């Protein structure tokens, strides 16, 4: 892993990519979504402050557990300007995401438990399918086609 001398306070996109493990295109994408920021040199080259390393690590860790980029952006917006997330920030933000993740885990467990049945019968019955229409919730709401 390339080392960045302490005296360097700004990184090129290539240095940030090499150090963070994120592709240059991913860094440009993160910047377009407001997750990280850069300044432009007189030659119109991007320069990132060193705190971008931790922000990228934060974004990638949150993505790995399935947090949508919009939620990550909202979380980063709660931090003071130019401050990177620290251990306490991660603990607070991850606690806020716990309910969302628990719900997603429950949905995935239901999918896993009923997937074999659907593959076995192949019907995906709108009345009895545990995946497309769990507990016939659509039948309780309205009549006719909904999907």
Nearest residue to 56 via CA among 28, 79, 80, 81: 28
Burial class (CB in 10 A: 0-12, 13-18, 19+), 30: buried
pLDDT at 21 (0 to 100): 94
pLDDT over 70 at 106, yes or no: yes
Mean pLDDT of 4-10: 68
* Residues 14-39: tens digit of each pLDDT: 999 999 999 999 999 999 999 999 99
Cα 77 from Cα 34, distance rounded (Å): 9
pLDDT over 90 at 6, yes or no: no
pLDDT over 80 at 103, yes or no: yes
Instruction: Please answer whether residues 29 and 46 qualify as being in contact, where contact means their C-beta atoms are separated by less than 8 angstroms.
Output: no
Mean pLDDT of 125-143: 59
* Residues 40-96: tens digit of each pLDDT: 999 999 999 988 998 899 899 889 988 889 988 988 888 776 667 788 887 888 788
pLDDT band at 107 (very low <50, low <70, confident <90, very high): confident
């Amino acid at each position: 892993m390339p080392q960045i001398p302490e005296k360097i306070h700004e990184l090129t996109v290539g240095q940030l990519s090499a150090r963070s493990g994120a592709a240059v295109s991913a860094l440009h994408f993160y910047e377009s979504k407001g997750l990280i920021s850069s300044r432009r040199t007189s030659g119109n080259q991007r320069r990132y402050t060193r705190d971008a390393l931790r922000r990228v690590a934060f974004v990638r860790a949150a993505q790995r557990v399935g947090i949508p980029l919009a939620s990550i952006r909202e979380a980063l917006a709660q931090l003071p300007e130019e401050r990177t997330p620290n251990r306490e920030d991660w603990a607070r933000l991850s606690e806020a995401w716990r309910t969302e993740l628990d719900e997603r885990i429950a949905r995935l467990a239901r999918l896993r438990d009923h997937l074999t049945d659907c593959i076995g019968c192949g019907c995906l019955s709108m009345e009895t399918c545990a995946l497309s229409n769990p507990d016939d919730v659509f039948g309780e709401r309205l009549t006719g086609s909904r999907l």
